[in-house]
């Protein structure tokens, strides 16, 4: 009999619902508590599960024993919950972006390391089977050009109002495009310098909407390769939430989108649509399975997106925000721990 992994959820919005559904499909888990200041959301997510419902996070931790905490709160709402959980030995599954600033992320990282808990950040593309193939191909032929995109539909007064507010999300080029910065770090190597241009005013700016309508980020990698990421929040709903990339190396092109989940390979003069290496499009389910297995096996070696690595992706996102604010290129410093 497999050990049942008990988990709590912090933030009962759209992403938490997906994670809960996937965990139920994986099985061998039990939802014990849900916390959200909007209690009706927590009630709705808990459904018939019998899980406790809370608006107060500390009360949830005091009253419910859990092995893992799923953190699905908006970027502005991280106020030390991961640290409190880590100090109780609770393993962490955290939705990206992990924070709005480096100082906070470093405190969380040090709590994770001090308390030796496992962590997994939702950079799901890393887990797609096709991405393993991309790692293999790019290790023999290093990338020269990395082109990415991130599409979203955001409107003032829409669902998830925090996304449209710069102070709460730092904008789409931070909060969504981080998936692309992260996969580029994974496949191409560390990003050392960024610059960015933006456009605004196509959607009227109000108190409820003050983010960029579109933007383009340029990237310099430590390897000498270059890249760019194009972003817009003016996409139709049909492509909202889509992101992906095209990476070129010598005689090699790799194409991937999160929606399709298949790596398309153009290798030399032969075109291969190699779906045999990349059938699954459910990266999040693969990522969750590895997280749950890591807790059972008490070994995090199968987790491809630990918090310690996500901190480096955060540093790139912070650099992009700074480049947008100043109009100047920004050097991305290596991440040093505060220990
Ligand atoms: N593929 C991915 O990695 C992916 C996909 C979607 C969303 N996300 C991330 O997940 C996070 C949540 O996104 P969402 O789409 O679910 O947003 P959402 O707005 O649908 O849900 C957020 C929920 O958090 C709750 N909340 C706010 N402050 C809280 C607090 N202090 N404590 C507890 N709950 C709090 C809100 O009431 C709301 O129910 C965001 O950081 C987002 O970027 C990641």
Between β-strands 214-221 and 226-232, what pairing exists: parallel, antiparallel or unpaired? antiparallel
| CATH superfamily, with its number, for domain 128-279+314-331 | Dihydrodipicolinate Reductase; domain 2 (3.30.360.10)
Per-position pLDDT tens, the chain of length 339: 779 999 999 999 999 999 999 999 999 999 999 999 999 999 999 999 999 999 999 999 999 999 999 999 999 999 999 999 999 999 999 999 999 999 999 999 999 999 999 999 999 999 998 999 999 999 999 999 999 999 999 999 888 999 999 999 999 999 999 999 999 999 999 999 999 999 999 999 999 999 999 999 999 999 999 999 999 999 999 999 999 999 999 999 999 999 988 899 999 866 666 554 555 558 999 999 999 999 999 999 999 999 999 999 999 999 999 999 999 999 999 998 665
Q: Which atom of ligand 1 is nearest to the CA of 122?
A: 3
Q: Global pTM?
A: 0.96
Domain ranges of the chain: 5-124+285-306, 128-279+314-331
Bond preceding residue 264 cis, omega within 30 of 0: no
Spatial contact of 252 and 265, defined as CB atoms under 8 Å apart: yes
Dist. CA 73–CA 115, nearest whole Å: 22
On whether the 5-124+285-306 domain is CATH 1.50.10.10, my answer is no
Angle (CA) 81 82 86, round 5°: 120
Q: Give the residues surrounding ligand 1 with Cβ less than 6 Å away.
A: 10-16, 35-38, 41, 72-75, 77, 95-96, 122, 124, 160, 175
Contacts of residue 312, Cβ cutoff 8 Å, sequence gap at least 6: 185, 190, 335
What separation in Å is there between the alpha carbon of 250 and the centre of ligand 1? 40
Torsion angles phi and psi, residue 317, rounded to 5:
-60, -40
The residue nearest atom 18 of ligand 1, judged by CA position, is 13
What separation in Å is there between the alpha carbon of 95 and the centre of ligand 1? 8
Most distant CA atoms of the chain, gap in Å: 62
């Amino acid at each position: 009999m497999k050990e049942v992994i008990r988990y709590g959820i912090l933030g009962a919005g759209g992403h938490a619902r997906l994670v809960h559904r996937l965990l139920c499909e994986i099985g061998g888990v039990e939802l014990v508590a849900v916390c959200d200041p909007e209690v009706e959301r927590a009630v709705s997510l808990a459904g018939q599960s019998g899980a406790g419902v809370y608006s107060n996070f500390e009360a949830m931790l005091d009253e419910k024993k859990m092995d893992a905490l799923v953190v699905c709160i908006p970027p502005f709402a991280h106020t030390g919950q991961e640290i409190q959980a880590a100090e109780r030995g609770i393993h962490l599954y955290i939705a990206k972006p992990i924070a709005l600033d480096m100082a906070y992320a470093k405190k969380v990282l040090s709590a994770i390391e001090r308390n030796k808990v496992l962590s997994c950040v939702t950079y799901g593309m890393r887990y797609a089977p096709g991405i393993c193939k991309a790692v293999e191909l790019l290790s023999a032929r290093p990338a020269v050009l990395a082109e990415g995109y991130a599409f979203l539909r955001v409107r003032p007064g829409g669902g998830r109002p925090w996304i449209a507010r710069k102070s709460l999300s730092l904008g789409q080029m931070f909060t969504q495009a981080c998936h692309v910065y992260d996969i580029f770090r994974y496949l191409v190597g560390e990003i050392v310098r960024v610059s960015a241009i933006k456009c605004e005013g196509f959607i009227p700016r109000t108190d409820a909407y003050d983010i960029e309508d579109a933007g383009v980020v340029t990237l310099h990698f430590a390897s000498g390769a270059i890249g760019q990421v194009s972003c817009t929040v003016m996409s139709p709903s049909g492509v909202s939430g889509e992101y992906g990339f095209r990476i070129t190396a010598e005689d090699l092109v790799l194409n991937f989108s999160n929606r399709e989940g298949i790596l398309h390979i153009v290798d030399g003069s032969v075109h291969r649509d190699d779906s045999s290496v990349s059938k699954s499009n459910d990266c999040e389910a693969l990522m969750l399975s590895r997280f749950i297995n890591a807790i059972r096996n008490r070994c995090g070696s199968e987790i491809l997106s630990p918090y310690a690595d996500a901190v480096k992706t955060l540093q790139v996102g912070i650099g992009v925000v700074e480049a947008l604010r100043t109009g100047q290129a920004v050097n991305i410093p290596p991440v040093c721990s505060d220990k």
